[in-house]
Amino acid sequence: MPFHVAKEQYIQSPHEYLPKAFNHPTVEHHDPPKGKESYLLPAVLDVQNGAEMTATYPGPCIYYVTEGEIEYEDRKNPGNTTVLREGGILHVEEGSLIRWTCKSPNGVKGFAVAHVPVSITSVDDFVALEQ
């Protein structure tokens, strides 16, 4: 059953999953549905200037940027970067390896929804420090 999480509730409890990169665990549903193979994992993101991360996607994901901008590169086709700006939407295919870099002075905020296996309980499970 859906439930409402007030902005004040999740803004005050960010989780730093990487240096300078935060999500809001109140929004993420950490108990995947029983008897299912996959589910939709929501995330509210706040990434500060200077943050760098790489993510391997266990399922398709949609990002929407509400403030700022962030640069991304498909690591399977290195050298070609794209900037995702406020109002921008990105669809990431399952199996993608994406490197994110935030160079925006005020950082970037947005949200995402990923269709993931039930073994994935948080964005933390598929995001890693840049190697």
Q: Which is higher by pLDDT, 58 or 7?
A: 58
For residue 13 the two structure tokens come to 């409890």
Band the pLDDT of 34: cuts 50, 70, 90. Answer: confident
Residue given tokens 């929804």 in the structure block:
113
State pTM to two decimals.
Answer: 0.83
| Average pLDDT over every residue of 104-129 | 87
What per-residue confidence (pLDDT) applies to 131? 45
Band the pLDDT of 30: cuts 50, 70, 90. Answer: low
What per-residue confidence (pLDDT) applies to 58? 94
> Is the backbone of residue 68 left (phi > 0), alpha (psi -120 to 50) or beta?
left
User: What is the spatial distance between Cα 49 and Cα 51, in angstroms, rounded to a whole number?
Assistant: 6
> Hey, is 123 helix, strand or coil?
helix
What per-residue confidence (pLDDT) applies to 99? 94
Strands 21-23, 38-47: parallel, antiparallel or unpaired by DSSP?
A: antiparallel
What per-residue confidence (pLDDT) applies to 19? 74
Q: Which is higher by pLDDT, 76 or 9?
A: 76
